[in-house]
Amino acid sequence: MLWTGGWDSTFHVLKVVLKEGGRVEPVYVIDEERRSTAHEELAMAAIRDGLAAHGAGAAARLLPTRVIRRASIEVSPRIARLYEAGVDRFSIGSQYEWLAALSEQDGMSGLEVSWEKPNKTATEFYRTFLPLLVSSADGRVLGHDLGGHDAFELFRNFRFPNLDYTKWEMWDCAEQHGFLPLMQLTWFCHRPRSGRPCGRCTPCHYTVIGGLARRLPLRARWRWLSRHVRRWIRDPDGGFW
């Protein structure tokens, strides 16, 4: 299970450990180039500490994190080719190139990624890719039909256990099962300013449109809003989001 200390992946970790009583072995990829790395590590440590209050059993079910340096992940020419095709067609995020490479390493097949349930602002990639998933004993996985998009092979070894929840529904579920305070410790921004969420990066954007703008400081919310208003004034047909 890929754990970043962010909202979606932390929700999945805590849901399995606290609601389902299952065990999780998290995998964290350290990306030395990302400014948010220290924040992510602190968030995960705080969440682990907080988990202890839910009992020694719960704390033990969250196994030690396997930490992998991004620089140590070798991308094969095949994956690089698939990724290039994916970027050209769907602007797939660069992390999926090295995550695909990671998922082909020993013991990593079945890597769980915690994508949320699509909402009205779902990207074209999401709308094209998600219908191709099939249910299996291990949860939802990519089926044989790729809809003509070979690039989707990048996601062959992934599982998608979190697609039944929007960010809001995660909030509700966490509140119901008593782990909302731990969810409040999560970190999501990739480009923090003065140690706080920026309101401009992709995870900040998805936090706002997922209905959790309250998690951003006022200044960051204003940054997000003014940027979208400017964009909307320039191109009203492009929609506000």
Q: Which residues bind Zn ion (CB under 5 A)?
A: 189, 197-198, 201, 204
By C-beta, is 42 or 63 nearer to Zn ion? Answer: 42
Alpha helix ranges (H) inside the chain:
7-14, 37-51, 56-61, 77-90, 95-103, 124-129, 167-176, 180-183, 202-209, 218-234
**Minimum distance, C-beta of residue 218 to Zn ion, in the bound complex (Å):** 14
Q: In whole angstroms, how close is the CB of 116 to Zn ion at the nearest point?
A: 17
Half-sphere exposure of 85 (CA within 13 A, CB side): 12
Rounded to the nearest whole angstrom, what is the least distance from the CB of residue 221 to Zn ion in the complex? Answer: 11
SS3 content of the chain, % helix, strand, coil (to 5): 50, 10, 40
Q: Which CB sits closer to Zn ion, 151 or 201?
A: 201
Cα(191)–Cα(201) distance, integer angstroms: 6
Q: How far is the CB of 213 from Zn ion (least distance, A)?
A: 12
Nearer to Zn ion among residue 69 and residue 230 (C-beta): 230
CB closer to Zn ion, 38 vs 53: 38
Q: Which amino acid is at 136?
A: S
Minimal distance, residue 34 CB to Zn ion, in Å: 11
115 phi and psi, to 5 degrees?
Answer: -65, 145
Residue (86 or 197) nearer to Zn ion, CB: 197
